[in-house]
Structure 1
Amino acid sequence: MGKRIVIVGAGAVGGYFGAYLTRAGEDVILIDPWPEHVETIRRQGLSLTGMTDEETMTVPLRALHVTELQGLSREKAVDIAIIATKSYDTAWATLMIAPYLAPDGYVVSAQNGINEERIAAIVGWGRVVGCMVGNNFTVDLYEPGQIRRTMPRSPSVYSLQVGEVHGRITPRIRELEKILAAVDTISVTTNLWGVRWSKLCVNGMRNGVSAATGLGGNARDAHDQIRKVVIHLAGEAVRVGEALGYELEPFLRLEPNQFLRASDGDAQAMAEVDASLLAGTKGSVRSNLQRPSMAQDMEKGRKTEIDEINGFIAAKGAEVGISTPTHAALTQIVKDVERGVLSAKPENLFPLLP
């Protein structure tokens, strides 16, 4: 028999995973707290669109309301629980699904931020696996039962990376790789923590900036002043990651040291990073509809993950004695926009210009 897979959080990422896994014949159940979304999926399936016609589909899925979870006690145990909620919902989502895990079942974090420690505090380190969702895997739940992908699928770029927290290659990580290959291109990493922090650098330079400015991905990176703030955020995050001892990996087509040198005023590095960010706004690299998840949350009036991304970087910086004034300031600005003290506009970040 196949693995029973439960995805807690049927938003953009969780729903996308669920649709492709179900289409591949996997035994999948979605669990979500948004009643209208669950009912839409039950009534007419989950509809996906992308940047090609081949990505347009509607997939019938089994979806449960959070309040119906207890019914799983009378069913096959959960082999793989994928947490795809917001980072601030990690603890309750893990607590909720933990009683239904099979004896050898485990929990996969497919989220922004670094949440493995929160999950391990509930189920133990031996039942935690990481799944890094790549920078080109940008999806948007824009209506109940409707998800769109706003950056192209690419067979030459890994959209997903899975890894054990201890870095070893295990049979279960190979099995998970094979299962998730139905979703997108995937690889196994022996450097989960370095991969996680490298992705956090990207989220730290994108999500909060778009939330504070109201700018989509292309407009954000094309804005001359905002792009300078973005580069400074990247440099601070790289410096913290290195101080924590992580082996950072290239991100956004550049080496981490290029962002660090650019933020420190190295003219050549600044030109390289500047050109790379601008190149990402051209052609079919990114749809003009693309908006980071935090900007989507801001637009929809939901709580953002600013504390779990930029606030987390600032907190970790404080632990190792690395100053992160840009991340700390951005965290406060996003909170002010959340509360309506500020409106989202580029001028909010001009005081952060180095």
Structure 2
Amino acid sequence: MRTLIAGIGALGGTIATRAVSAGVPVWLATRTAESARALRSSGLRVSGIGGAAVASGIQVAALEEYRGESFDLVVLATKAHDALKSAPFLSSLLSPGGTLLCIQNGGVSQILSARLGSSVVLGGVSNLGATMVEPGIYEQRNAGHLLIGELASGLSDRAANVARTLSPAIETRVTANMRGAVWAKLLLNCSVTTLGAIAARTMREYIASSTGKEVFRRTYDEALSVALASGTRPERMIVEPIPGEDYGAWIEQVIAGYGDAKPSMLQDFEKGRRTEIDFINGYVAQVGEEIGVPVPMNAAVTELVHRIEQGQLQPAPARLDELSLRLSS
């Protein structure tokens, strides 16, 4: 399966390094020709969980330089905004029956499936923890995997074939409930990650306050209501996505699984990067409005993150107090 990996950041770079090291023939696409030249010269290296791997003599070029080429599989591993911009061009590189595998957070795969067609787009979510130390050098922080599947639900030969292609590089599993898996991760991104970024705290830290507990519950419950109202049953990841009767025990499970990680969105704030909020809480707010489910907390969270992006506010625990007061007035 002739494979192109577009986006050589933390996730795409880690997969690419392990793929080339394992002898999987892949081509790599960067945003600029300068980046491609630098990676051709330096090669790729990954360390950490899963062991060290080195990739030299890599086939890498700027995305535009692949015009006229043909691939059976394109792994779209860019940031969400770049994914929406580049997906139409990438889909033009697919051979007949080819697949565009989207592995971004949030609603990206569902948005692209609606635009390009479910026969083109295959959904994916990752729980692989990886960081890019510098271009071409990556650190893998857990033994994570890719979960892929049809967004229209059900199992398919093409998902199984893609899993076989990528498995030498990263453990790749197939689910019959891909939309449920996307929403399960989205629920946690909306609450654990975004609220931690706003407060500049881990979940374990911010949820120790009564305000943190309240804002978390409202944000999560709204997102869950949207998922269920849209006909999606979120799939179990590390924890059950639907809290049981013992809510306190469920919260403790979430904290045990995710409570001590530094939110990736907080890192975006610190580095002055554009966040993916429009595809996380913003996506929940958009879908909620479309199907008539009230989502005031997720809408307010989205607006607040944009104000932080614009430098009008700084992330701090007081931001959660402001959200609570705003929606109780």
TM-score by structure 1 length?
Answer: 0.82
Residue from 125, 138, 143 that aligns with 1:153: 143
CA contact (8 A) 2:243 2:250 kept: no
Matching residue of 1:241? 227
Please state how far the C-alpha of 1:117 moved relative to its aligned partner: 4.3
- Separation in 2, partners of 1:303, 1:198: 24
Matching residue of 1:265? none
Please state how far the C-alpha of 1:311 moved relative to its aligned partner: 0.8
CA contact (8 A) 2:45 2:136 kept: yes
Q: What are the Cα deviations for residues 48-73 of structure 1, in whole angstroms up to 9, with x where unaligned?
A: 232x4x53333223222234333xx2
SS at match of 1:314: helix
Gaps of 5+ in 2: none
Q: 1:143 to 1:224 in 2, by over 3 A?
A: farther
1:18 aligns with 2:16: yes
Q: Which of 28-37 and 91-100 deviates more?
A: 28-37
Q: 1:342 to 1:328 in 2, by over 3 A?
A: same
Matching residue of 1:143? 134
User: How big is the alpha-carbon RMSD for the aligned residues of Structure 1 and Structure 2?
Assistant: 2.6
Q: 1:225 to 1:34 in 2, by over 3 A?
A: farther
CA contact (8 A) 1:213 1:349 kept: yes
Residue from 66, 69, 81 that aligns with 1:69: 66
Please state how far the C-alpha of 1:140 moved relative to its aligned partner: 2.1
Matching residue of 2:164? 178
SS at match of 2:119: helix
Matching residue of 1:264? none
Q: What are the Cα deviations for residues 278-304 of structure 1, in whole angstroms up to 9, with x where unaligned?
A: 32368xxx6xxx433322322222211
SS at match of 1:79: strand
1:275 aligns with 2:252: yes
Gaps of 5+ in 1: 262-267
Alignment of 1:104-115 (within 5 A): 104-115=97-108
How many pairs are equivalent? 324
- Separation in 2, partners of 1:56, 1:228: 43
Q: 1:171 to 1:251 in 2, by over 3 A?
A: closer
CA contact (8 A) 2:181 2:237 kept: no
- Separation in 2, partners of 1:169, 1:228: 38
Q: Identity percentage over the alignment?
A: 28
CA contact (8 A) 1:24 1:182 kept: yes
SS at match of 1:341: coil
SS at match of 1:55: coil
- Separation in 2, partners of 1:9, 1:15: 7
Residue from 296, 305, 309 that aligns with 2:267: 296
Q: 1:312 to 1:255 in 2, by over 3 A?
A: closer
